[in-house]
Structure 1
Amino acid sequence: MSGDDYSSAFPDTALARTAHTYLTGIAPTSLVNHSLRSYLFARTIGDHQGLHPGADYDDELLFLGCALHDIGLTDEGDGEQRFEVDGADLAARFLIENGLDEDRAAIVWDAIALHTSQGIANRKRPEIALAHSGIGADIFGLQADLLPEGHGLSVHADYPRLDLGRDMADIIVAQATAKPHKAPPFTFPGGVLQERSPESAVPGYAQLLAACPWES
């Protein structure tokens, strides 16, 4: 299946289709496929938890949060903040411009801004928690044991991985090399930058303590 195809597995709404078209127009295929797989995994994890779309969560908002969660890693989304927040801001603007009301756009904003925030996102409302779970299941295999046997292979057959891990890290490092403030200490992009470029200027805990002006 190509990244331009809109699957019947996705919400059949005009805004979801518009967001899908937008995503495929600005993101590399590896990130497009990751974002769509994340939604499919989020839905399945929700099923495992006994959560039903339309009753327990808004399926359109879950799709929008998953589909757009990495647009901060695109050229269009590369602003002055860590990529999760840049992506959340861009997604909210785009969705409001395309008719989503501000209250619902705020839910998508949270889902995107918090998607790397383990221990926080999973305690928020279902659209945010499920997006976090689906994204983690795809990128790191977290909670993969909650997926039915063969489901992961089937999803990857439709949306191949295409060296996602390398592509994502390359983009994070390139953004942070150009703008070091996009990879603050103790954040996901900061950790990727430190691992990939140990010579980077991202300070660690001991360095921050040493630079503190207060006496111990």
Structure 2
Amino acid sequence: MAQTTPALSTRIIAGITVPDTPLITKALAYARSLMDDQGYHHVVRSWLTGMAIISHLPTSMTASIDLEAFAIANLLHDLGWAITGDVVSTDKRFEVDGANAARDFIQREVEGSQGWDAHRLQLVWDAIALHTTPSIARFKQPEVAFTSLGIFAELAGPTVAPEGTISKAEFDGIAAEFPRANLKEYVRETMCRLCRTKPETTYDNFVGSYGERFLEGFSLEGKQQIDKLESVIV
């Protein structure tokens, strides 16, 4: 079974062993300050689900994973859903807003970015920006791939994770401490809110499908990538 990096202290949250660093503690507080209860519970569940998956994989697959970067990416991955603060743009996809906000957070909170070189910053940025694009994320670094996988497993249940990597008991234990009440409705309303408030960021990704299905007057007709390509290719 994989172990957290020896240099990192650990603690147990909802039955899952996780790394414990000052920056992770600050990330938890930062996410809590910007997100409503359901959004905050989702990002914490995503982190715990990802850590459960990693903990059950062979050490040969996980020993080199930067668990602090993984934690920060998970905890801040949906800052593009923020209901307060100034991290949400008017012209960028929510994934990019989250990635930019996480990078700014690290650079602000770590004096001189000590221990956070360009590679680690890029890992966090990529993990967040690509978390809704598993067809790309799974071919990237483990921190990126497992962020996407853990978030998807958090939403869809443990059966979508590799067999034996997170049990139903672990999944239910996480949900008991960080409730999943009305999760489907919450995600739907969040996606529709993005479609209402900055529709131009939803035409080339899955978010626009929520608007087309659930928002009267919202349409993707003429606005998708194929429409743009058909109009510009010479």
| TM-score, normalized by the shorter chain, greater than 0.5 | yes
CA deviation after TM superposition for structure 1 residue 98, in Å: 0.9
Query: Are 1:78 and 2:88 matched, yes or no?
Result: yes
Query: Are 1:192 and 2:210 matched, yes or no?
Result: yes
Aligned counterparts of 1:53 and 1:215: Cα–Cα separation in 2: 43
Q: Cα RMSD between the aligned structures?
A: 2.7
Matches within 5 A, 1:27-46: 27-46=35-54
Structure 1: tracts of 5 or more residues without a match: 1-5
The secondary structure found in structure 2 opposite 1:175 is helix
Query: Are 1:166 and 2:166 matched, yes or no?
Result: no
Instruction: Verify the 8 A CA contact 1:46 1:52 in the aligned structure 2.
Output: no
CA deviation after TM superposition for structure 1 residue 46, in Å: 1.6
**Matched residue type, 2:200:** H
Aligned counterparts of 2:104 and 2:223: Cα–Cα separation in 1: 35
CA displacement, residues 124-174 of structure 1 (integer Å, 9 cap, x when unaligned): 111111111110001122327541241111111111113222222212212
Instruction: Verify the 8 A CA contact 1:82 1:189 in the aligned structure 2.
Output: no
Instruction: Verify the 8 A CA contact 2:211 2:219 in the aligned structure 1.
Output: no
**Matched residue type, 2:88:** D
1:57 counterpart residue number = 65
1:3 counterpart residue number = none
2:138 counterpart residue number = 122
Label 1:53 to 1:214 Cα distance change in 2 as closer, same or farther (>3 A): closer
Label 1:206 to 1:83 Cα distance change in 2 as closer, same or farther (>3 A): closer
Instruction: Verify the 8 A CA contact 2:208 2:220 in the aligned structure 1.
Output: yes
CA deviation after TM superposition for structure 1 residue 196, in Å: 2.0
2:195 counterpart residue number = 176
- Alignment match of 2:151 (pick from 135, 141, 153): 135
More strand as a share of residues? 2
**Matched residue type, 1:197:** L
CA deviation after TM superposition for structure 1 residue 208, in Å: 4.6
CA displacement, residues 17-56 of structure 1 (integer Å, 9 cap, x when unaligned): 0010001111011111111111111112223332479832
Judge which range, 170-179 or 35-44, deviates more: 170-179
**Matched residue type, 1:168:** V
Label 1:49 to 1:195 Cα distance change in 2 as closer, same or farther (>3 A): farther
Aligned counterparts of 1:121 and 1:215: Cα–Cα separation in 2: 28
The secondary structure found in structure 1 opposite 2:20 is coil
1:22 counterpart residue number = 30
CA deviation after TM superposition for structure 1 residue 203, in Å: 2.9
Q: Identity of counterpart residues, as a percentage?
A: 28
How many residues matched? 210
CA deviation after TM superposition for structure 1 residue 188, in Å: 2.2
1:156 counterpart residue number = 175
CA deviation after TM superposition for structure 1 residue 192, in Å: 2.3
Label 1:122 to 1:54 Cα distance change in 2 as closer, same or farther (>3 A): closer
Query: Normalising by the residue count of structure 1, what TM-score does the alignment of the two structures yield?
Result: 0.85
Aligned counterparts of 2:25 and 2:233: Cα–Cα separation in 1: 56
Aligned counterparts of 2:197 and 2:161: Cα–Cα separation in 1: 34
Instruction: Verify the 8 A CA contact 1:71 1:87 in the aligned structure 2.
Output: yes
